[in-house]
Amino acid sequence: MAFEPKPWPRRLRSQEWYSGTSRDTIYHRGWMKNQGHPHDLFDGRPIIGILNTWSDLTPCNGHLRELSEKVKAGIWEAGGFPVEVPVFSASENTFRPTAMMFRNLAALSIEEQMRGQPIDGAVLLVGCDKTTPSLLMAAASTDLPSIVVTGGPMLNGYFRGERVGSGTHLWKFSEAVKAGEMTQEEFLEAEESMSRSSGTCNTMGTASTMASMAEALGMALSGNAAIPAVDSRRRVMAQLSGRRIVQMVKDDLKPSDIMTKEAFENAIRTNGAIGGSTNAVIHLLAIAGRVGIDLGLDDWDRCGRDVATIVNLMPSGKYLMEEFFYAGGLPVVLKRLGEGGQLHRDALTVSGQSIWDEVKDVRNWNEDVILPLEKALTPQGGIAVLKGNLAPSGAVLKPSAASKHLLQHRGRAVVFEDIDDYKAKINDEALDIDETCVMVLKNCGPKGYPGMAEVGNMGLPPKVLRKGITDMVRISDARMSGTAYGTVILHTSPEAAAGGPLAVVRTGDMIEVDVEARRLHLDIPEAELAERLAAWKPSHERPESGYAWLHQEHVQGADTGADLDFLKGCRGSPVGKDAH
């Protein structure tokens, strides 16, 4: 934490547009004045871009225009000049084929919006799953001072007296309908209870996980992750963040000062403690790649292995984000990690303080929500990285969401060549499958789907569900929603569409999973595996133009974060030539 603030005042990049008496300056400044800005606003004060992912079609972020008013208030108060900039909003529940395909496109467009416009710092106004990583990736690549403000989770849902967790209960209810335990009418009635306020998913799904990752990385003010969207303290957080970014610009406190290797290790351990989404693996690897930090799947296994999951939230546990906030939220978890020697206490945060200084005095107000170590949901909650001849570059599994009795398993593969094949076969009573089998789904990785959809937690066949069985081993190159659960092995790399071993698994092959030994093995002779791989040919058509083509040509494997190869790294924020 050896950060030295730069002297202030000094000339900022926005002055390349607005300072002086040249024709170009008068052109830039004059246009801005049509919004009623007085001349002295262009006197060299920090101009802060509020990068707003609001969209009517990203309902999780639907309240961000109101929240941005509080950010603006904070920026004005601190002597800055706020400018609100709408940016690409990749909604998890709307975009097809999958929002993940557009995370990199969003990051690319936002990076250029930051670099090409007269801003000195940015407030990243985010919420829904992909919005947080895409803006963090852009901020990392420009390295302009930036602070995350999250929209916050929804209030608890309730259906017939029971908590309803976003996504988690969608899977539960839909399986219950298939098993004949719930009627379609009841399912429709439950729909009304699922999203009862503004905000993001209220489980420890990907949105809450990524909000927690931003806070653990030090990129948000302490406490940002858990405050419900509609709580007045969310608006206070927005205003305080607006004040803070102005000082960050004056100090020149940049993402590269904050997102160090230690910060990523803090985030990985935090993910284990909160029982966070497997999607955090891909996003953190991609963000690290933008800052130039050497982070790999092995770091996930090494750092997360001995971290106990102590946050009792769905999908791993019982409660929702609202209760997490009342219990004290992420600062309590970070304090617990710090006390247990599992936090780099000196890691710098956007506040200018160390992460430990931010959390050392907090208290846990509900030990049933943030559990004592001896009552942890699982003593080893980090993401397990499995390797073997079926996943030479790795695959991931979330032990806290898996069934203990399946963590060591040998079973017969039942293969689905792609998601359409799965949908066509899964409800067929003649499908030769039982609960001891291993469901294998191919061609759903970054290139295969394309975009790596959240389909890895394939629903079980109805005939298995009717026996009361709720989990089976599932393996794919897909992702899984952070709100989902089960013994689901994901991100298998290299993916099938890139000719990885997953591509040549056949129904009837035996597969061995040993999570403790971190092993994923296709039990066929090595010579036969080599023969099958040599004979493999891509089975799916490739797009010939447009972004889909660009994505498929350049997307990297899940094991390195699935970024586009030409977007890795920090390109800074040099001010380009003036065209006028």
Residue closer to ligand FES, measured from CB, 114 or 282: 282
115-119 — which CB contacts under 8 Å span 24+ positions? 115/142, 115/571, 115/573, 115/574, 115/576, 116/576, 117/49, 117/85, 118/13, 118/14, 118/16, 118/17, 118/18, 118/28, 118/47, 119/13, 119/14, 119/47, 119/48, 119/49, 119/83, 119/85, 119/144
Contact 202, 154 (CB under 8 A): yes
Residue 4 CB contacts under 8 Å (≥ 6 apart), including other chains: none
> Could you tell me which of 63, 54, 22 has the C-alpha nearest to residue 154?
63
Q: Residue 114 or 128: which CB sits closer to ligand FES?
A: 128
Q: For the CB of residue 112, give the shortest distance to ligand FES in the complex, in Å.
A: 25
Q: Which is nearer to ligand FES, 115 or 479 (CB)?
A: 479
* Dihedral sign (CA 467, 469, 470, 471): negative
- Least CB distance to ligand FES at residue 107 (A): 17
Q: Tell the smallest beta-carbon distance from residue 173 to ligand FES (Å).
A: 16
**C-beta separation of 44 from 120 below 8 A:** no
Smallest CA-to-CA distance from 137 within 110, 116, 119, 118 is with 110
Parallel/antiparallel/unpaired status of strands 438-441 and 473-476: parallel
Q: Residue 133, by phi and psi: left (phi above 0), alpha (psi -120 to 50) or beta? A: alpha
d(CA 150, CA 297): 27
User: Which of 126, 295 has the CB closer to ligand FES?
Assistant: 126
Q: How far is the CB of 203 from ligand FES (least distance, A)?
A: 8
The least distance separating ligand FES from the CB of residue 62, rounded to whole angstroms, comes to 10
Amino acid symbol at 220: A
C-alpha span between 63 and 53 (Å, rounded): 10
In the complex with ligand FES, the residue whose CB is nearer, 62 or 82, is 62
Tell the smallest beta-carbon distance from residue 154 to ligand FES (Å): 8
Q: Between 207 and 249, name the residue whose CB sits nearer to ligand FES.
A: 207
Nearest approach in angstroms of CB 237 to ligand FES is 18
CA 480-418-478 angle, to 5 degrees, is 20
* Nearest residue (CB) to ligand FES, 204 versus 362: 204
Give the residues lining the site for ligand FES (CB under 6 A).
Answer: 60, 92-93, 128-129, 166, 200-201, 205, 207
Shortest Cβ 199–ligand FES spacing (Å): 8
For residue 260, the minimal CB distance to ligand FES (Å) is 28
Nearer to ligand FES among residue 120 and residue 129 (C-beta): 129
Token duo for residue 123: 């407030």
Determine the Cα–Cα distance for residues 523 and 410; give it in Å rounded to an integer.
9
When the beta carbons of 265 and 454 are compared against ligand FES, the nearer one is 454
Q: Which is closer to ligand FES, CB of 325 or CB of 356?
A: 325
**Min. distance of Cβ 438 from ligand FES in angstroms?**
29
Neighbours of 233 (CB within 10 A): 13
Q: Are 94 and 102 within 8 A, CB to CB?
A: no
> Six-digit token pair at 314?
């769905």
Sign of the CA dihedral 177, 182, 188, 192? negative
Closest to ligand FES by CB, 201 vs 562, is 201
CB of 277 to ligand FES, least distance (A): 10
Buried residues in 104-126 as b, exposed as e (16+ CB within 10 A): bbbbbebbebbbeebbbbbbbbb
